[in-house]
A and B are shown apart, each in its own frame.
Chain A
């Protein structure tokens, strides 16, 4: 899906846990996430802390979306 949307000229950020798979399938902008059953959250955290975590991940993704890349790029911490 990432590649098909990009093929039509839209930049895409792939938010995913298993970064190596994302690299293998050819995503260009990759934001690593928390865990496979809960990529954008963490049930072990307090609700307020978890909200902050989610906000950080979305902000990172938005930043990645507006960043020019030259080939596959992982937006780590």
Chain B
């Protein structure tokens, strides 16, 4: 399966009479976008704002971030199972408005949403301070239940991103990147001397507003399955959660997974990248055992010499990570794990809820409990008072002057476990 991504570089976003891309500027017809995003009887109102890198703007609470893309060649369309039908995606050509993003906000759903600051110290922690953001503020009708509220906002974000993506349909991309994974036996033969690597892609599926979808199916309901890595670039995996926003993967991060892109960079040079095993993080022990058994079985069946395993979230999913590691390692297949840490505000506590001596190669995306003060911003899009209730904040996080003191857990993508973040460490 071969997919080309045509990157149309977006350096600015502005409102305009017509939605179009001209000379690297995305012009947005505000009313048309609001109408399409709000096309759901469960939505009371939609407002659209722009937030550019460097501006004194805070977006709170952030629910999802989505990259505008459009399928220009090949079967299917973006966000299969939600926007497009369930045709197989991941081949042909997809154009990308690289540098633009849809950010959804609005009344809080639960306790789970994040913060994006476009400037100041907070901006250094979130990758979405560097994108030209089209902020879609969605207010549902008053009678909506919480879980439906989440669905409504999620779908509004996908509709908005699909609408904006269409503006890139006939634009000549600034650059084209190609990614290819062949059917297994052919792929194994293509680079016979290179170590074969499989990526075990763990997705957050605890329920209660922690959900992820694969072709529209709640991943909690699947048994682990194979995915060509390019499928995710067309929106095969979408986010329905941002509980502890620092380490949940917004849909944008799935579309741009650094793990997959980096594995492709090495594909044919140092490794033979065979593909992905998509798995879940469910809430019963039997589910955890079953899914880790099947993940290990699939990784072995695919003929891997080594596997990368990434976690989404923390706490009980640490047990899924450890089970996947143990079971894959015991089949004689090397693993490297990607996680983040909840080591306390002083960094002195145990980082993960579970552990294993077989997990001897582990990459961390940072300590989510670190405390930061986010200074006042001139403009706040959304509801700043939720800083007192979102995960990582506490009663009193929002000061009278409008600044926020909280754990970096509140910042969207701060310790992203696919490595889509900026935290680094150095040995001294």
Contact = CB atoms under 8 A, between A and B. Distances in A.
A73 interface: no
Contacts of B353: 18, 21
B354 A34 contact: no
A20 B207 contact: no
A58 interface: no
The 8 lowest CB-CB distance pairs between A and B, nearest first, are A36-B283, A35-B283, A18-B319, A35-B284, A21-B354, A24-B354, A21-B319, A36-B316
Contact of B285 (A19, A24, A37): A19
Interface residues of B, number: 15
A58 to B, nearest CB: 19
B156 interface: no
A20 B354 contact: yes
Nearest to A39: B283
B206 A21 contact: no
23 contacts: A17-B283, A17-B284, A17-B316, A18-B316, A18-B354, A19-B285, A20-B285, A20-B323, A20-B354, A21-B316, A21-B318, A21-B319, A21-B353, A24-B354, A24-B355, A32-B285, A34-B284, A35-B283, A36-B206, A36-B284, A36-B316, A37-B206, A37-B207
A17 B283 CA distance: 8
Interface in B270-303: 283-285, 288
Interface of B: 206-208, 283-285, 288, 316, 318-319, 322-323, 353-355
A34 B285 CA distance: 8
Interface string A11-24: 00000011111001
A20 B206 contact: no
Interface residues of A, number: 11
A37 B323 contact: no
A39 B230 CA distance: 38
A75 B136 CA distance: 51
A34 to B, nearest CB: 7
A34 B318 CA distance: 18
Contacts of A18: 285, 288, 316, 319, 353-354
Interface string A23-58: 010000000101111000000000000000000000
Nearest to A34: B284
Scoring B207, B208, B316, B355 by chain A CB atoms within 10 A of each residue's CB, the highest score goes to B316
A24 B319 CA distance: 10
Scoring A21, A24, A34, A36 by chain B CB atoms within 10 A of each residue's CB, the highest score goes to A36
A21 B208 CA distance: 22
Contacts of A19: 285
A68 to B, nearest CB: 25
Nearest to B318: A21
A37 B353 CA distance: 16
Nearest to B353: A21
Contacts of B354: 18, 20-21, 24
Contacts of A17: 283-285, 316
Nearest to B289: A20
A35 B207 CA distance: 11
A51 to B, nearest CB: 20
Contacts of B288: 18
A43 B238 CA distance: 27
Nearest to A32: B285
Contacts of A21: 316, 318-319, 353-354
Contacts of B207: 37
A34 B283 CA distance: 9
A21 B316 CA distance: 8
A35 to B, nearest CB: 4
Contacts of B323: 20
Given A17-B284, A24-B322, A37-B208, 8 more contacts: A18-B285, A18-B288, A18-B316, A18-B353, A24-B354, A24-B355, A35-B284, A37-B283
